[in-house]
């Protein structure tokens, strides 16, 4: 027993995932039970399927990894339903199991592997085609192994949850919550990256700074909720109307920025003005929008300062805004 505990401690301490824990446990299980096959299964009760996840077969009996069998026909389900962890006479106990007959199982040992909430994850099993005597102490060892696997499964689920949460948090940190496009932080990071890439490749970028003229009047006349919807609709028109390689970001308030690869003959300013101009309907309220002021600048070869490029685009936008005001007056 001392030797078993030492090997068990080595298996647990060296495990960094479910497989690296389970495979040594299956080998230990073979040693303590004398069974031909030891294996871990997962159970999908909703679809009625038991799946052999990991298996160890050292003698005549072969229970292959990846095997799927109907859950209702398995020895594992019968053992769980009856509370019978072990039998050396499967034919007498569960002779109606087609799976047992097909595999030639005569001695069977099983313990449920449960999630920490009590739900059934799978089973840890041992089987042989001949009669094998198994002591109550060995059944307890199997139960201990099953609990170790349960804790590893839960640990991996928690780690997956943490990873997903971190990814979501990272995503939210780079997305404007109102419009769903990139936020200012994401814009600055991506613009720096694209400028570095353009420098390596000898290409240039177009940066468009957009200010939604008259947005304050929309808020004052229709309310902030309608104004927020209007901002979201503008962002959606930009995102849907531009190329997948173009970056759309909300810079703040009623200002947006678009970053695009320079294309020969492209009129980015005209394209953006066309996308934004037109009728919007927010909560049943029609808004006929005359358009935005759009300033567009092109990065120079060797241009790597994202902040300076944004300031140039912003200054160009204000020149356009002054010209638009002068035309209206």
Query: Which of left, alpha, beta for 252 (phi over 0: left; psi -120 to 50: alpha)?
Result: left
Other beta carbons within 10 angstroms of residue 199's beta carbon come to 16
Q: Which of 73, 211, 213, 254 is catalytic?
A: 254
- Integer Cα distance of 182 and 174 in angstroms: 6
Q: What is the CA 220 to chain-centroid distance, rounded? A: 41
Q: Report residue 45 as tokens.
A: 């009760």
Q: Are 313 and 296 in contact (CB under 8 A)?
A: yes
Strands 120-128 and 107-114: antiparallel
Q: What is the CA 164 to chain-centroid distance, rounded? A: 6
- Integer Cα distance of 42 and 113 in angstroms: 9
Q: What is the CA 118 to chain-centroid distance, rounded? A: 25
44 is annotated as an active-site residue: no
Least Cα distance to 43 among 81, 95, 90 occurs for 81
Q: Which residues are catalytic?
A: 254
């Amino acid at each position: 027993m001392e030797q078993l505990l030492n090997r068990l401690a080595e298996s647990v301490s060296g495990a960094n995932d479910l497989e690296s824990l389970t495979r040594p446990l299956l080998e230990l299980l073979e040693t303590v039970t004398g069974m031909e096959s030891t294996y871990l299964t997962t159970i999908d009760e909703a679809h009625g399927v038991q799946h052999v996840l990991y298996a160890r077969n050292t003698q005549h009996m072969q229970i292959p990894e990846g095997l799927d069998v109907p859950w209702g026909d398995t020895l594992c389900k019968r053992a769980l339903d009856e509370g019978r962890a072990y039998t050396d006479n499967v034919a007498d106990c569960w002779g109606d199991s087609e799976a047992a007959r097909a595999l030639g199982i005569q001695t069977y040992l099983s313990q449920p592997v449960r999630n920490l909430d009590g739900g059934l994850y799978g089973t840890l099993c041992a089987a042989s085609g001949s009669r094998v005597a198994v002591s109550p102490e060995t059944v307890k060892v199997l139960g201990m192994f099953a609990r170790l696997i349960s804790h590893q499964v839960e640990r991996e689920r928690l780690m997956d949850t943490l990873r997903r949460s971190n990814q979501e948090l990272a995503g939210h940190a780079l997305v404007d919550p109102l419009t769903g496009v990139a936020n200012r932080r994401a814009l600055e990071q991506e613009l720096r990256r694209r400028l570095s890439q353009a420098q390596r490749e000898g290409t240039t970028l177009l940066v468009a700074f957009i200010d939604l003229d008259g947005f304050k009047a929309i808020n004052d006349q229709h309310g902030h909720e309608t104004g927020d919807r209007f901002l979201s609709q503008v962002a959606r028109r930009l995102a849907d109307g531009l190329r997948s390689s173009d970056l759309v970001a909300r810079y703040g308030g009623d200002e947006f920025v678009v970053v695009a690869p320079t294309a020969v003959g492209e009129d980015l300013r005209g394209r953006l003005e066309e996308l934004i101009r037109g009728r919007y309907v927010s909560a049943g309220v029609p808004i006929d929008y005359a358009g935005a002021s759009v300033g567009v600048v092109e990065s120079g070869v060797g241009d790597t300062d994202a902040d300076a490029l944004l300031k140039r685009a912003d200054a160009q936008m204000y020149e356009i805004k002054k010209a638009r005001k002068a035309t209206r007056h």
